[in-house]
Structure formats: structure tokens, C-alpha cells
């Protein structure tokens, strides 16, 4: 294959669907106009554990507009395959508060919601356990943690090394449950016809949703079509399928009518996943000069009783720093809670809060600058596998960030910089995210009039994926951007991996590159005639299957400045600056948005986000945007994102690493470290609320 000079890749191309979005023509899941539509309103469980012993639908059925009420006694039967969370209305068991017990289908949304309040449910209530504790008697070691990694890894003898270390840090860090709040709540329009099931859905992956839903209904994936041209944010919440999409499909099957189901913001807090709370103990052993001799990172997390979700909290610690003796572990407890799921950098975000806070504590203990401490512990190769890094530019990010941020003249003493009522501090933390890539298919076609169409079931959840794929295709085809159409967001297109694990562009872009290369070669072979109507198809399964001889990870450095009000304890971020090493940046405009979005979400994680569990009722009680605080514009100061040049030939044809998640990683630690620098108070328990700073 020949290489082509990049013309579109690397430029700040505008979003190709930008005009459609700002003029309101872009259709999101709930907006697809379908004839004969009816509406579904779910009935959530009001107990956290027990059994439904009776459902009284009589009153609801008398309400105007009501077409039907489904519950486990009359719902169509599903195949009990895959994630049990999706076996909606199949059993009287209640596994968590908010679990769907019934659904009302009515002619209007208002009628459905009104009648849903009149469904009488009688429960045999059992005592629930929703309390995560590090000494919970039912803690266990999962077989694997996500995406498919060993739960525990050990090298050397960390216990002996810790006991012998001249300098040690031993601290427990906690992160709360957090909920994704994309602008567009989850929504589905489900329709059955002679061909099968069509789902207009807010999903991060049309192919994977199709493949998950089909077996539940005992039908072939080819009988399910998922259409999702535009998705209003996901962050992982729309990555795994959740109960609402199955409920909509059940309701449509039973009534024979197309059914619309939009999850309310409140119900998103129980049925669409969340970030598990964590309790993490980090132990570091070091020489007085800062060289680490031992790293131990143990995480405790939760899952539900019906599905194991084992987050990979301590896995970034496996690759971050050199130390001959090391151990990372994960323990889970299955509680009467909703099943956790993915939330931007699941694992890395909470895990790096703990590790990078501990590194800051070690820097103070050794009397070393925290950047210098990290540089001294930079590993030559991946400390876990011994593989060389395909590229690793953490040090370059730290140095470039230090220069841009103005780190050089920083006084390390905590609690001494005053500006009026404010105590000012600065902090730094490293970030990292693995490089993933999945197999995909794609087609490329030469159309009449010099237009080229690329087809792949990729997803653009607001990231700019459609635009970047258009740039990639245009360069390989050696044509201007305007001559390329990229069709995505439909499972009828060639199968694609989902927008998750920061792997979308790497996975889809590889398939798009290969398809466009093959088409170009085919057109060249046919000679100069207008060869329209030529289509080629590719599959990257084989190419993707080769195991890498390299450890592949993106890195970054996060810098924060905070001001803490001495009288009120209120902490505010004044500046955030990130420098990232992510391979080649394909579109600086959309990439910058991803970094800034991730960093903003990290700021939000540091200071605001916390899903508070109501122990008595067993669910998350602050389940709306008035009570669950997400950073708003006034909370977000100047956020600057930069990247270092990084040329890495061991990734994919574009030379790119993922950029969707690394922006959130390390941000919370940088803020917490800055708060410590400002106040002298080490907050190890997120979020950093004012009550933790009033002493």
C-alpha cells in the first residue's frame, strides 16, 4: 500500500453534520417520526430487594388512552441469555430499587405517565444490603476485570519491600458512585414488522446493540436493525445495552404498535449504569531520593446481584512507574444495587485519582518536586509485561506542561499563598489510557459525479467521529473532503465496534483506510475511465488479530490551580492545563474538544459529582440535575489542552491513539493535589466538598 500525503487529516475540519445539528434537522432517537406511535412509561420498583407478589393493573387500564400494561405475568418471554440485567419483566425478583416492574403503554406520554402511577404493586420485602465496605464479609476476587484483565497481578515481594522501605506512603482513597448525565437521556423507538425489529436508539454501537438484543428475542441479528445517526453524548452510559431498550422492544411486540420510550433523568440514576464507588488503598515504598521499591494498589468495588461488572480500577498502576516489587488487586461485593457500567475512563479515572494523589504524598515525604519524582520513576519498558512501549511521552508532557503552566518557580510549601480570602495552590498529576482497537468491516464505493461513499456502522456520539472518518477517507482516496460521504449510525451498514474504550477512530479508521486503499487500487487497475458503481469491502479481523509486540498507551500531564476560601471552605478551580501524548492528532479542533470535555468532567469529578446512596431505601437519592451537581459553565475556568508531537508506527494506519477518555484521567488528582498545596489539607475522599476543608 502506498502512503499519501495528508491533506485533510491534521486540519481543523468543521463537523460535517454541524449545519444539520445547529438547524435542528439532525434526528436523535426520540425524534424519528413514525406512524401510529404509542408511548411507554415504566413502573420502577420501590423496594431494593424482594419479590413482586401482585401487580394490580385494573385501575391503570381504565385510564384514557391506555392500551396495555405489561408486567412479569403477561410480558412476552425472553430468552435468558447474556446479561441478566436485560431480562426485563421476566421474573418476580427485585434486585435493586428502581428496577422495572411493569410498563404502561398509552396513546400519549402524559396518559402513560399518569397511568403508571396507578399500577398497584405488592412486594414481599426482604432486607437489603447496599453498603460498600472494605471489610464486607462477601468480598470476593472476580475471575477477570474489564475489559478482560487479571484481577490480581504481582511481581517480586512487595510486602517485604514495603517493610524495608525508608520512606512509605500508606493511604486509603475513596471515590463515590457517579452517574453519567449526557444531554440526551436514553431513548428508544421500537417497531416490529414482517422483517423483524427496528430500534431507533441512543446507542454508542449499532452493531453491538443489535447483537445483544436479537438473542433475547430468539431471532437472528439480521432481523434486528438499529438506527442511530446522532447521539447526544454517551460517555459509556450508552455503550452497554440497558433495560429501557429491551422494555421498549417488549412493549412494541406485545401491542403491535411502534413504542417510544424516553428514560427520565430521574430513572437514569437506576437503569442506565453508573461508575462504581471505590475504596482504594495505595502503599508506596521508596528510597529517600524518591526511587520506588514497591507499589501496592488494592481496590474494593461493587456490583449488583444479577450481573458482575468488575471495573479495572488498579490496572493503570500496572504500567505507570518502575518498581521491582508490585501488586495490584480488585475485590468486589455483590450488593442490592443497580449494576454499575462504564463511565468515561472506567477504572483509569478513579484508579489514577488514588495513585496520583499517593505520588503527591510521596513527593512531599521525600521533599521532592512531584514532577521530578515521576521522572525518576519512569520505566524503561512496561513494568508488568516487559514489553517495550510503542511510544511513551509522559516525561515530555510533564516538561511541556510545566513550561506552559509556569511550574518552575513554584514554592512547594502548603498553605502559604494568600490572595484576599483565598488560599491558592497548584497541583500536577499524570494521566494514561490504553490503546485499544477492534475488528470492523467497511465498504467504499465510487459513485457517479466523482463522489465516494464510505459505509461503516460507526457511532458519532458528539465526538466528531463522522468528520474524522471523512478526513481519513478523503486523504486515502486523494480527493477533497467535499467529495466523500461517510454513512454511519445504522446496523444495516458493515459491522463495527462501538464508540467505547477510546477505540472508535482507531478501529473504524483502520477499516475505512483499508476500504479506501482497496477502492483506489481497484480504480487504478481499471484505468482512467469514470469507473463509477465500483464497491469494495474490507474486514480488519485478521489485521486486528495480530498480538502487539508493544505496550500501547496514551499519556498526559494535568496541571491545576485552585483557590480555596478560608472562611467557607469553598474550593474553585482557577486554571486547568493538560498536555497529552496521543499519537497523531487527526483533527485538532475536535480533538481539543475531547480533551477539554474530559478535563471538565474531571473537574466535575473532583469537586462536585457524587451519587449519594440512601441506605434506608437503597437507591441513589440525588437523582436529578438539581441535586446531582455536574460542572456548569461558571464552575469551569480557563481550560487549556495541548499535545506533544508523537509519531508511533505501531498503532494503526493513522498513527493515532484514543483521545475520548484520557482527558478525565488524572484531573481529579491534580485538583486534589492543588487543594493540598493551597490548604495543607489532603482530601482522599472525592468529591472535595467544603465540609472536608473546614477544620
**Beta carbon of residue 520, minimum distance to ligand MOS (angstroms, whole number):** 32
Closer of 8 and 458 to ligand MOS (Cβ): 458
Closer of 236 and 425 to ligand MOS (Cβ): 236
Q: Please choose, from the candidates 598, 237, 547, 309, the residue with its C-alpha nearest in 3D space to the C-alpha of residue 433.
A: 598
Closer of 342 and 643 to ligand MOS (Cβ): 342
Which of 85, 356, 361, 661 is catalytic? The answer is 661
Q: Establish if 504 lies at the interface with ligand MOS (CB under 6 A).
A: no
Q: Which of residues 526-585 bind ligand MOS (CB under 6 A)?
A: none
Closer of 593 and 673 to ligand MOS (Cβ): 593
Q: Is 143 a catalytic residue?
A: no
Q: Please choose, from the candidates 154, 163, 170, the residue with its C-alpha nearest in 3D space to the C-alpha of residue 362.
A: 170
Three-state secondary structure call for residue 264: coil
Closer of 465 and 683 to ligand MOS (Cβ): 465
**Beta carbon of residue 218, minimum distance to ligand MOS (angstroms, whole number):** 29
For residues 158 and 295, is the Cβ–Cβ distance under 8 A? yes
Helices (H), ranges, 317-369? 317-320, 348-366
Q: Please choose, from the candidates 458, 437, 547, the residue with its C-alpha nearest in 3D space to the C-alpha of residue 503.
A: 437
Q: Establish if 344 lies at the interface with ligand MOS (CB under 6 A).
A: yes
**Beta carbon of residue 664, minimum distance to ligand MOS (angstroms, whole number):** 9
Closer of 234 and 563 to ligand MOS (Cβ): 234
Write the CB contacts of 251 (distance below 8 Å, at least 6 apart in sequence): 40, 68, 70, 103, 105, 190, 259, 261
Q: Which of residues 194-233 bind ligand MOS (CB under 6 A)?
A: 204
**Beta carbon of residue 662, minimum distance to ligand MOS (angstroms, whole number):** 11
Q: Establish if 688 lies at the interface with ligand MOS (CB under 6 A).
A: no
**CB-based closest residue to ligand MOS:** 236
Q: Establish if 682 lies at the interface with ligand MOS (CB under 6 A).
A: no
Closer of 234 and 427 to ligand MOS (Cβ): 234
Three-state secondary structure call for residue 146: coil
Closer of 290 and 500 to ligand MOS (Cβ): 500
**Beta carbon of residue 167, minimum distance to ligand MOS (angstroms, whole number):** 35
Q: Establish if 500 lies at the interface with ligand MOS (CB under 6 A).
A: yes
Q: Establish if 347 lies at the interface with ligand MOS (CB under 6 A).
A: no
Q: Establish if 239 lies at the interface with ligand MOS (CB under 6 A).
A: yes
Contact map string, positions 375 to 414, toward ligand MOS, x by CB under 6 A? ----------------------------------------
* Residue-by-residue DSSP string for 499-559: S-TT-HHHHHHHHHHHHHHHHHHHHHHH-SS--TTEEEEEE-HHHHHSPPSSB-EEEEEEE
Cα–Cα distance measured from residue 584 to residue 573, given in angstroms and rounded to the nearest whole number: 30
Angle between the N-to-C axes of helices 588-607 and 667-679, in degrees from 0 to 180, rounded to the nearest 10:
50
Pick from 343, 440, 605, 662 the residue near ligand MOS by CB under 6 A: 343
| Structure-block grid coordinates of residue 130 | 447496599
Edge-to-edge strand ranges of the sheet holding 422-434: 418-419, 422-434, 553-565, 571-581, 638-643
Cα–Cα distance measured from residue 110 to residue 232, given in angstroms and rounded to the nearest whole number: 24
**Beta carbon of residue 125, minimum distance to ligand MOS (angstroms, whole number):** 34
* Residue-by-residue DSSP string for 150-180: ES-EEES-HHHHHHH-SEEEEEEEEE-BB--
Pick from 462, 501, 597, 666 the residue near ligand MOS by CB under 6 A: 501
For residues 665 and 356, is the Cβ–Cβ distance under 8 A? no
Closer of 234 and 383 to ligand MOS (Cβ): 234
Q: Is the dihedral of CA 259, 264, 269, 270 positive or negative?
A: negative
Cα–Cα distance measured from residue 272 to residue 672, given in angstroms and rounded to the nearest whole number: 29
How far from the centroid of its chain's Cα atoms is residue 513's Cα? 26
**Beta carbon of residue 511, minimum distance to ligand MOS (angstroms, whole number):** 19
**Beta carbon of residue 344, minimum distance to ligand MOS (angstroms, whole number):** 5
Pick from 321, 342, 407, 580 the residue near ligand MOS by CB under 6 A: 342
Which residue is associated with the grid cell 457517479?
Answer: 448
Cα–Cα distance measured from residue 65 to residue 554, given in angstroms and rounded to the nearest whole number: 54
**Beta carbon of residue 237, minimum distance to ligand MOS (angstroms, whole number):** 8
Contact map string, positions 614 to 633, toward ligand MOS, x by CB under 6 A? --------------------
Run of H or E including 297: strand 292-304
Which residue is associated with the grid cell 467535499?
Answer: 482
Q: Establish if 236 lies at the interface with ligand MOS (CB under 6 A).
A: yes
# binding residues, ligand MOS (CB under 6 A): 12
Q: Which of residues 651-670 bind ligand MOS (CB under 6 A)?
A: 661
Q: Output phi, psi for 26, to 5 deg.
A: -65, 130
Q: Establish if 346 lies at the interface with ligand MOS (CB under 6 A).
A: yes
Q: Establish if 340 lies at the interface with ligand MOS (CB under 6 A).
A: no
Q: Return the range that interacts with ligand MOS (CB under 6 A); candidates 67-75, 91-99, 129-137, 336-344.
A: 336-344
Catalytic residues: 661
Please give the residue ranges that form the binding site for ligand MOS (CB under 6 A). Answer: 204, 234-236, 239, 342-344, 346, 500-501, 661
Amino acid at each position: 500500500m502506498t502512503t499519501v500525503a495528508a491533506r485533510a487529516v491534521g486540519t481543523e475540519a468543521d463537523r460535517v453534520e454541524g449545519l444539520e445539528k445547529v438547524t435542528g434537522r439532525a434526528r436523535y432517537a426520540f425524534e424519528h417520526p413514525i406512524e401510529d406511535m404509542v408511548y411507554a412509561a415504566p413502573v420502577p420498583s420501590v423496594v431494593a430487594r424482594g419479590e413482586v407478589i401482585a401487580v394490580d393493573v385494573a385501575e391503570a387500564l381504565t385510564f384514557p388512552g391506555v392500551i396495555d400494561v405489561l408486567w412479569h405475568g403477561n410480558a412476552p418471554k425472553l430468552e435468558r441469555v447474556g446479561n441478566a440485567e436485560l431480562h426485563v419483566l421476566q421474573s418476580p425478583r427485585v434486585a435493586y430499587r428502581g428496577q422495572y416492574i411493569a410498563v404502561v403503554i398509552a396513546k400519549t406520554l402524559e396518559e402513560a405517565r399518569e397511568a403508571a402511577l396507578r399500577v398497584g404493586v405488592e412486594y414481599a420485602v426482604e432486607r437489603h444490603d447496599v453498603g460498600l465496605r472494605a471489610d464486607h464479609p462477601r468480598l470476593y476476587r472476580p475471575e477477570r476485570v474489564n475489559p478482560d484483565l487479571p484481577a490480581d497481578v504481582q511481581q517480586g515481594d512487595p510486602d517485604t519491600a514495603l517493610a524495608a522501605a525508608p520512606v512509605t506512603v500508606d493511604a486509603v482513597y475513596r471515590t463515590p458512585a457517579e452517574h453519567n448525565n449526557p444531554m440526551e437521556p436514553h431513548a428508544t423507538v421500537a417497531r416490529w414488522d414482517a422483517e423483524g425489529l427496528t430500534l431507533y436508539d441512543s446507542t454508542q454501537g449499532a452493531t453491538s446493540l443489535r447483537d445483544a438484543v436479537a438473542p433475547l428475542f430468539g431471532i437472528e441479528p439480521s432481523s434486528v436493525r438499529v438506527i442511530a445517526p446522532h447521539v447526544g453524548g454517551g460517555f459509556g452510559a450508552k455503550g452497554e445495552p440497558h433495560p429501557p431498550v429491551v422494555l421498549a422492544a417488549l412493549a412494541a411486540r406485545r401491542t403491535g404498535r411502534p413504542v417510544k420510550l424516553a428514560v427520565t433523568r430521574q430513572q437514569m440514576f437506576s437503569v442506565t449504569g453508573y461508575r462504581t464507588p471505590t475504596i482504594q488503598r495505595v502503599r508506596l515504598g521508596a528510597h529517600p531520593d524518591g526511587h520506588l521499591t514497591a507499589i501496592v494498589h488494592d481496590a474494593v468495588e461493587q456490583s449488583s446481584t444479577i450481573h458482575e461488572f468488575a471495573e479495572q480500577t488498579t490496572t493503570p498502576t500496572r504500567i505507570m512507574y518502575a518498581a521491582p516489587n508490585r501488586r495490584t488487586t480488585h475485590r468486589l461485593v455483590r450488593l442490592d444495587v443497580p449494576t454499575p457500567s462504564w463511565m468515561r475512563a472506567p477504572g483509569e479515572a478513579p484508579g489514577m485519582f488514588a495513585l496520583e494523589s499517593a505520588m503527591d504524598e510521596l513527593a512531599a515525604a521525600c521533599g521532592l518536586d512531584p514532577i521530578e519524582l515521576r521522572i525518576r520513576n519512569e520505566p524503561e519498558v512496561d513494568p508488568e509485561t516487559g514489553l517495550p512501549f510503542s511510544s511513551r511521552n509522559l516525561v515530555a508532557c510533564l516538561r511541556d506542561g510545566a513550561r506552559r503552566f509556569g511550574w518552575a518557580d513554584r514554592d512547594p510549601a502548603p498553605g502559604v499563598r494568600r490572595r484576599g480570602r483565598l488560599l491558592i495552590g497548584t497541583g500536577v498529576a499524570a494521566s494514561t489510557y490504553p490503546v485499544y482497537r477492534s475488528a470492523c468491516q467497511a465498504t467504499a464505493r465510487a459513485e457517479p459525479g466523482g463522489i465516494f461513499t464510505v459505509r461503516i456502522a460507526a457511532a458519532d456520539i458528539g465526538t466528531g467521529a463522522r468528520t474524522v472518518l471523512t478526513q481519513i477517507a478523503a486523504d486515502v482516496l486523494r480527493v477533497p473532503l467535499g467529495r466523500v460521504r461517510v454513512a454511519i449510525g445504522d446496523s444495516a451498514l458493515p459491522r463495527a465496534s462501538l464508540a467505547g474504550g477510546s477505540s472508535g477512530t482507531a478501529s473504524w479508521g483502520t477499516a475505512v483506510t483499508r476500504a479506501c486503499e482497496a477502492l483506489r487500487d481497484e480504480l487504478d487497475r481499471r484505468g482512467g475511465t469514470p469507473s463509477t458503481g465500483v464497491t469494495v469491502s474490507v474486514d480488519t479481523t485478521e489485521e486486528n488479530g495480530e498480538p502487539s509486540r508493544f505496550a500501547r498507551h496514551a499519556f498526559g500531564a494535568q496541571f491545576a490551580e485552585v483557590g480555596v476560601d478560608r472562611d467557607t471552605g469553598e474550593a474553585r478551580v482557577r486554571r486547568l492545563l493538560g498536555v497529552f501524548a496521543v499519537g497523531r492528532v487527526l483533527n485538532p479542533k475536535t480533538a481539543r474538544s475531547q480533551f477539554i470535555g474530559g478535563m471538565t468532567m474531571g473537574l466535575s469529578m473532583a469537586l462536585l459529582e457524587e451519587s449519594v446512596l440512601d441506605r434506608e431505601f437503597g437507591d441513589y437519592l440525588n437523582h436529578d440535575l438539581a441535586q446531582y451537581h455536574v460542572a456548569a459553565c461558571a464552575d469551569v475556568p480557563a481550560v487549556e489542552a495541548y499535545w506533544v508531537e508523537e509519531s508511533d508506527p505501531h498503532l494503526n494506519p493513522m498513527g493515532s491513539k484514543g483521545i475520548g477518555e484520557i482527558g478525565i484521567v488524572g484531573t481529579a488528582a491534580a485538583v486534589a493535589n492543588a487543594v493540598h498545596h493551597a490548604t495543607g489539607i489532603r482530601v482522599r475522599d472525592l468529591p472535595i466538598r467544603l465540609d472536608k476543608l473546614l477544620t
